[in-house]
Amino acid sequence: MSRIGRKVVAIPAGVTVDVQGQAVSAKGPKGSISWDAHPAVSIAVEGSEVQVTANSTERIARSMHGTARQLIQNMVVGVNEGFSRSLEIIGVGYNAKVQGATVVLQIGFCHSVDLPIPEGLSVECPVNTKIVIKGVDKQSVGQFAANIRRVRPPEPYKGKGIRYEGEQVRRKAAKASGS
């Protein structure tokens, strides 16, 4: 039995969790989100707590037990507080800006890279070398941050590129010149 799955998910004030069969939806001050649970788990709302139980002892039920509980926890936290991910742009002349529903990156290519902002996310650039992505769905926030980073990941010699805020880039020594 999963140790994480046995924990109950506490529902804070201002958040409502509704379960219709395997469909779970959460509404809060930041927005709403829904998810369809795997049939191997049962979900019940009891007062201000959500309890997830595995339907059997099969492998899929045991693996989905903790996963389902954590996804519901992320839904509750997302609609109550929201999730955010910050990216830094390192490099001379590298910058980013938000134009309408797209993020425009100038990162050393001969052209600018335009990335459309997914539905449900908000992106802001407080400084032209920093990107902040916010939303209620932890997976979509992280995926869009990874898509932006994938355009120009940090290179190991000078450290130029797009990195997560606080990410440590492993640096390599440059080639030693012969005398």
CATH of 3-80, one of 3.40.50.1370, 3.90.550.10, 3.90.930.12, 3.30.1360.120: 3.90.930.12
Please state the pTM of the whole predicted model.
0.90
Please determine whether the domains at 3-80 and 83-164 fall in the same fold group of CATH: yes
Q: Using one digit for the tens of pLDDT, what is the confidence trace for 100-150?
A: 999 999 999 999 999 999 999 999 999 999 999 999 999 999 999 999 999
Separation of alpha carbons 91 and 154, rounded Å: 10
Classify domain 83-164 by CATH number.
3.90.930.12
CA proximity to 90, closest of 164, 143, 147, 40:
164
Separation of alpha carbons 129 and 71, rounded Å: 32
Map out the domains of the chain as residue ranges: 3-80, 83-164
Question: Helix-strand-coil percent breakdown of the chain, rounded to 5?
Answer: 20, 35, 40
Q: Using one digit for the tens of pLDDT, what is the confidence trace for 48-77?
A: 999 999 999 999 999 999 999 999 999 999
Give me the pLDDT at residue 1, please: 60
3 membership: H or E segment, kind and range: helix 3-6
